[in-house]
DNA sequence: CTGCCTGCAAATAGTTTGCAAGTTA
DNA sequence: TAACTTGCAAACTATTTGCAGGCAG
């Protein structure tokens, strides 16, 4: 894979992120008139296929990318995202076993209300 | 909520399903020239908001609806879906607690290869 | 008979793709 | 220089919406 200047910038943004970002988030953070949104889409998908980043889906609408395997608490009030550890890491295999199914990865998101939004 | 003939048919299909279905799956199964796809979309979303059905997202593309809370093993080879029980039911609360976060629900999908597709 | 629900058609939003030109190794 | 990558514009797909007429309660 060629490490172009565009891909460097995209990886930079992603590696500094604590929470997952959409392609558009990353595109906007880079603010380079000469960077195209479709390049961001293509690069992130490439990174994902090559297993350099993780992908998850939040609020059932958009792809989010992040450098590390985490799950997230997503607030339905303010959309804040809080990273949490993975509670089924290591159990994946056992879940598939009764079916002869070989689990390779999983995606989970938890929804609810953060401390500030619970008064709703 | 008004129980129209369209909604009855949609619920019927969903209640007989063992695996989650997309709006289009349901629309095609009903095969009524006078039923519109957007009615299926609107009805299922309504059922979901009123907590009569569950919604999940699979292969990061489409909404799937199902009558009961289950997770699924999704085969990356043949797209087969196998329902499995929920392994974090009851732990939800504990996961959010350290952050003062009140978890209301979660969505998880496991990916991998079924017994027939493992020779890939 | 009134307000919720539907069909229809058009709009949206996120993502993907074809192609010619630019860049990396 | 050859293969990979990009920018641009157009295409695609799943989903949503406005509106006028229809139907359940």
Provide mean pLDDT across the span A34-60: 93
Rounded mean pLDDT of A98-119? Answer: 93
Mean pLDDT of chain B: 92
Average pLDDT, chain A: 92
pLDDT in tens, B89-113: 889 999 999 999 999 999 999 999 9
Of B26, B41, B65, the residue that ends a domain is: B65
Contact assessment for residue A103 and residue B112, using Cβ atoms and an 8 Å cutoff: yes
Token pair belonging to A8: 């460097």
Q: Same domain for B107 and B79?
A: yes
Q: Are strands A54-58 and B102-113 parallel, antiparallel or unpaired?
A: unpaired
Same domain, A76 and A46: no
Q: Provide the pLDDT for residue B30.
A: 94
List bases, strand D, within 7 Å of protein CB: 4-10, 14-18, 23-25
**B42 and B76 share a domain?**
no
pLDDT at residue A57, as a whole number: 85
Q: What was the pLDDT predicted at B10?
A: 97
pLDDT of residue A40 exceeding 90: yes
Q: Which of residues 16 through 55 in chain A touch B, CB cutoff 8 A?
A: 55
Same domain, B58 and B75: no
Asked whether residue B24 falls in the same domain as residue B44, the answer is: yes
Question: How many whole angstroms separate alpha carbon B60 and alpha carbon B120?
Answer: 22
With a pLDDT cut of 90, the percent of chain A lying above it is 78
Query: Average pLDDT for residues A47-53, to the nearest whole number?
Result: 95
At B89 the pLDDT is 85
| Set of chain A residues whose Cβ sits within 8 Å of the Cβ of B57 | 57, 60
**For residue B112, what are its two tokens?**
């991998």
Q: What is the pLDDT of residue B61?
A: 78
Asked whether residue B36 falls in the same domain as residue B12, the answer is yes
pLDDT band for A68, please (50, 70, 90 cuts): confident
Dihedral pair phi/psi, residue A74, rounded to 5° = -110, 125
For residue A105, the enclosing domain spans 71-118
* Tally: H helices and E strands in chain B: 4, 5
On chain A, the residues whose CB falls within 8 A of the CB of B99 are 73, 82, 84, 114-115
The reply to whether A85 and A38 lie within a common domain is no
Report CA(A82)–C1'(D12) in Å, whole number: 34
Instruction: Name the residue among A52, A21, A59 with its Cα closest to residue A30.
Output: A21
pLDDT at B4 over 80: yes
Same domain? B10 vs B53: yes
- Alpha-carbon distance of B31 to B6, in angstroms, equals 11
pLDDT higher than threshold 70 for residue B120: no
Does A56 lie in the same domain as A38? yes
Q: Residue A74 pLDDT > 60, yes or no?
A: yes
pLDDT band at B34 (very low <50, low <70, confident <90, very high): confident
Among the listed ranges A2-16, A34-48, B47-61, which one has the minimum average pLDDT value?
A: B47-61
B78 interfaces chain A, CB cutoff of 8 Å: no
- Structural domains in chain A (count): 2
pLDDT above 60 for A120: no
Q: How sure is the predictor about B31, in pLDDT bands with cuts at 50, 70 and 90? A: confident
- Say yes or no: A111 and A78 in one domain: yes
Tens-place pLDDT, residues B40-65: 999 999 999 999 999 998 877 799 99
């Amino acid at each position: 894979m060629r490490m172009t200047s565009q891909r460097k910038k995209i990886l930079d943004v992603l590696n500094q992120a604590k929470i997952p970002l959409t392609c558009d988030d990353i595109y906007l953070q880079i603010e380079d008139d000469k960077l195209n949104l479709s390049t961001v889409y293509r690069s992130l998908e490439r990174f994902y296929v090559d297993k350099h980043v993780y992908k998850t889906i939040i609020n059932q609408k958009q792809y989010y990318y992040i450098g590390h395997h985490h799950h997230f608490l997503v607030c339905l009030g303010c959309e804040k995202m809080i990273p949490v550890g993975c509670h089924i890491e290591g159990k994946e295999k056992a879940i598939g076993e009764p079916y002869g199914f070989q689990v390779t990865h999983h995606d989970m998101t938890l929804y609810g209300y953060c401390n500030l939004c619970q008064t709703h």
